[in-house]
């Protein structure tokens, strides 16, 4: 089974802090994604990556950056956390670049910014 | 742009009731359509999908039929169980956005014993 592991299930940070959310997948998938999930808004794509060292902006990239130094790891970075970034963050991976494959999700990281 | 509209939740049903969660979409071209489910405390997982008009996706007793004429992909189950309590997301994938899914806002389902 594919496993997507997010390093922290719950985080509490203060405004202005730098925050790292880590995601690792164990199935050699090429594509990786970061979404945020908010009530009534569904999932919104922040950033995605088709391959190592590649990244592309999603629908809401402002205030975020990403890093993909290794194929299995995709990190989401909040350079200076703000209260409006309090949310559930979901990482996902997909095997193929063609874009039709199933997405596999991690369990989520719930971030609270005070 | 592409978009997905789901019925507002939350939905509360008694065990063995019939379930329908409505999903309609707007898309350029011919999308593939998906239902994902998120059980409490877990990430999303694929429930079913359909890739062309009139296809029916099915899994775990759930079904959805791709209706091009009404741009809909409603999720149905004939007899829900308490274990079906979850959040359900409709999503689409088009050639234009072939590398990323567009999700609906999600519908919370609670099934009471």
For the record, the structure tokens of A78 come out as 């909040």
Share of chain B above pLDDT 90, in %: 75
> Which residues of B are less than 8 Å from A109 in CB distance?
none
Q: Chain A contacts of B44, Cβ < 8 Å?
A: 43, 90, 92, 103, 105
User: And the tokens for B71?
Assistant: 């741009």
At residue B99, the pLDDT reads: 67
Write the CB contacts of B64 (distance below 8 Å, at least 6 apart in sequence). Answer: B23, B33, B35, B48, B50, B56, B57, B58, B73, B74, B75, B76
**Rounded distance, CA B50 to CA B33, Å?**
5
Distance between CA atoms of residues A33 and A94, nearest Å: 8
Over residues B39-57, the pLDDT tens digits come to: 998 889 999 999 989 999 9
pLDDT at A101: 72
DSSP state, residue A84: G
Using an 8 Å Cβ cutoff, are A66 and A34 in contact? Answer: yes
pLDDT in tens, A6-56: 988 999 999 999 999 999 999 899 899 999 999 888 899 999 998 898 899
Which pLDDT band, with edges at 50, 70 and 90, does A111 fall under? very high
Of residues B100 and A106, more confidently modeled: A106
Is B93's CB within 8 Å of A99's CB?
yes
Query: CA-CA distances (angstroms) from residue B88 to A43, A44, A79, B21, B22?
Result: 12, 15, 32, 8, 11
Out of B4, B45, B99, the one facing A105 most closely (by C-beta) is B45
At B95, is the pLDDT very low, low, confident or very high (cuts 50, 70, 90)? low
Q: Cβ of B69 under 8 Å from any chain A Cβ?
A: no
* Residue B55 touches chain A, beta carbons under 8 Å: no
Average pLDDT over every residue of B26-43: 90
Angle, CA of A13, A16 and A21, to the nearest 5°: 50
In the three-class reduction of DSSP (H, G, I as helix; E, B as strand; rest coil), residue A52 is classed as coil
Mean pLDDT of chain B: 92
* Pair A50, A101: CB distance under 8 Å: no
- Using the Cβ of B43 and the Cβ atoms of chain A, whether some distance falls under 8 Å is answered with yes
pLDDT at residue number A74: 97
Q: Using pLDDT thresholds of 50, 70 and 90, give the confidence band for residue A98.
A: low
DSSP notation for B59-98:
ETTEEEE-BTTTTB--EEESS--GGG-EEEEEEEE-STTT
pLDDT, tens digit (0-9, with 9 covering 90-100), for B60-88: 999 999 999 999 999 999 999 999 999 99
Determine contact: A99 vs chain B, CB below 8 A: yes
Greater confidence (A54 vs B18) lies with B18
Going from the C-alpha of A113 to that of each of A5, A88, B74, B82, the distances in angstroms are 22, 11, 37, 34
At A49-89, the pLDDT tens digits run: 988 988 999 989 999 999 999 999 999 999 999 999 999 99
Q: Which of B48, B99, B102 to mutate to test the interface with A (most CBs of A within 10 A)?
A: B99
* Closest to A104 (Cα-Cα) out of A28, A9, A4: A4
Q: Is the pLDDT of residue A2 over 70?
A: no
């Amino acid at each position: 089974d594919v496993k997507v592991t997010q390093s922290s299930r719950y985080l509490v940070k203060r405004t202005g802090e730098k925050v790292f959310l880590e995601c690792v997948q164990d199935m050699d998938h090429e594509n990786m994604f970061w979404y945020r999930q908010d009530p009534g808004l569904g999932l919104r794509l922040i950033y995605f990556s088709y391959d190592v060292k590649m990244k592309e902006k999603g629908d809401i990239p402002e205030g975020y950056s990403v890093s993909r130094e290794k194929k299995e790891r995709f990190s989401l970075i909040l350079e200076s956390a703000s209260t409006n970034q309090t949310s559930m963050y979901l990482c996902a991976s997909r095997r193929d670049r063609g874009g039709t494959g199933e997405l596999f999700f991690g369990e989520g990281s719930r971030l609270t910014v005070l | 742009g592409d978009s997905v509209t789901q019925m507002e939740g939350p939905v509360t049903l008694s065990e063995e009731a019939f379930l329908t969660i409505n999903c309609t979409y707007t898309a350029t071209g011919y999308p593939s359509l998906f239902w994902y489910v998120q059980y409490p405390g877990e990430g999303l997982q694929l429930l079913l999908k359909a890739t062309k008009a009139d296809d029916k996706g099915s899994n775990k007793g759930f079904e959805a039929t791709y209706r091009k004429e009404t741009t809909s992909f409603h999720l149905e189950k004939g007899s829900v169980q308490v274990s079906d309590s979850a959040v359900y997301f409709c999503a689409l994938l088009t050639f234009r956005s072939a590398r990323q899914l567009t999700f609906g806002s999600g519908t919370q389902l609670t099934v009471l014993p």
